[in-house]
Amino acid sequence: MELRHLRYFIAVAEHESIRLAAQRIHVTQPAISRQIQDLETELGFLLFERQRNRLVLTPAGRSYLEEARLALARLDAAAKSGRRLAKGLIGQLRIGFVENAGWDGLVPDAFARFQEIAPDVDLELRPQNSPHQIDDILSGDLDGGFIYEIGALPAELVAIPLIEQGVVLAAPRSWGIRNGSAAALRDLADQPFILFPRAVYPAYHDLMIEACRRIDVTLNVVQEENTETAILALVCSGVGAAIVNAANLSRPVARATFSRLTDLSIRLPLAFVHRAGNDDPLLARFLSALDR
């Protein structure tokens, strides 16, 4: 059985005439008659009976007509859904992002643009640190992610450079350092500091320690926390200072001050990363929104 059998059958049933059905669907009458006969042979029962000058559905034919219409409607819906999916109009896209990159600027702008151009796409956003995103992209659990590209990436990944951030000093307000001022890390080296544990992001941890070593500073680390949110909470609590991503300037916290460091500079290049060869149309649409 082919789709044309169903379409011819429905046309004849609706017009109660092979001649009228042939005019509607632009197929010769003999061709339609042959297809109806083939369908009845395959089904094993009559679909029509002739009454005067029209064809009337048999009881079995009326029942089959309902199912045939439903089947064609489902197939048409499936085709429309497939076309929308192929064009990147529907489906699910899973994107990771480093939390501090989502406060302001390029990353939230890209999310907003994508939701405007693809409102029917289920956009799942996951705040994760860079190493976790890389692992999830490689495993297929994420379609892409905004990471800080520190060190070499696995060969399976493609990175699109975006912007470059730096670092600033976050200090408890009780220390009396004026917000927005400049400070030298050498002058604060003996103060308590909060740092990422190396296990969370070895490349970033080593980069920071090496940058401090180059200016002959050894941080007095009193506590380690896995996220900058937790680190800044401890800064606000007066536990110590921290060297944090300058992106945090977009969300000033009540009990901390941010200062530019005059003697320490660390490059934090933000990039969008995805697997090489990923031809998902949803990802292509997201990259288009990001490019804009």
Where among 42, 69, 86 does a domain terminate? 86
Instruction: Note the pTM of the prediction, 2 decimals.
Output: 0.72
Angle at alpha carbon of residue 178, lines to 175 and 184, rounded to 5°: 80
The four Cα atoms 235, 238, 239, 245 give a dihedral, to 10 degrees, of: 10
pLDDT (mean) for 217-243:
95
pLDDT band at 84 (very low <50, low <70, confident <90, very high): low
- Segments forming the whole domain that contains residue 58: 3-86
- pLDDT tens digit sequence for 104-163: 899 999 999 999 988 888 899 999 999 999 999 999 999 999 999 998 999 999 999 999
Q: Say yes or no: 226 and 260 in one domain.
A: yes
Residue 255 DSSP code: T
Determine the pLDDT at residue 52: 80
Which two structure tokens, joined as six digits, stand for 235?
């800064």
Q: What is the CATH number for 108?
A: 3.40.190.10
- 272 in any annotated domain: no
Q: Say yes or no: 81 and 150 in one domain.
A: no
Determine the pLDDT at residue 113: 92
Cβ contacts of residue 93 below 8 Å, gap of 6+?
114, 121, 122, 123, 124, 143, 280, 282, 283, 286
Q: Taking the mean position of all CA atoms in its chain, how far away is CA 154?
A: 20
Q: How far apart are the first and last CA of the chain?
A: 48
- pLDDT tens digit sequence for 166-203: 999 999 999 999 999 999 999 998 999 999 999 988 99
For CA atoms 130, 132, 133, 137, the dihedral sign is positive
Where among 86, 115, 146 does a domain terminate? 86
Please count the structural domains in the chain: 3
DSSP H helices, the chain, are 3-15, 18-25, 29-43, 59-86, 106-117, 130-139, 202-214, 228-236, 281-291
Q: What is the CATH number for 40?
A: 1.10.10.10
pLDDT band at 83 (very low <50, low <70, confident <90, very high): confident
* Element housing 151 (H / E): none
Q: Taking the mean position of all CA atoms in its chain, how far away is CA 126?
A: 9
Where among 86, 115, 137 does a domain terminate? 86
> Quick one: what percent of the chain has pLDDT higher than 70?
97
* CB neighbour class for 273 (10 Å; exposed up to 12, middle 13-18, buried from 19): buried
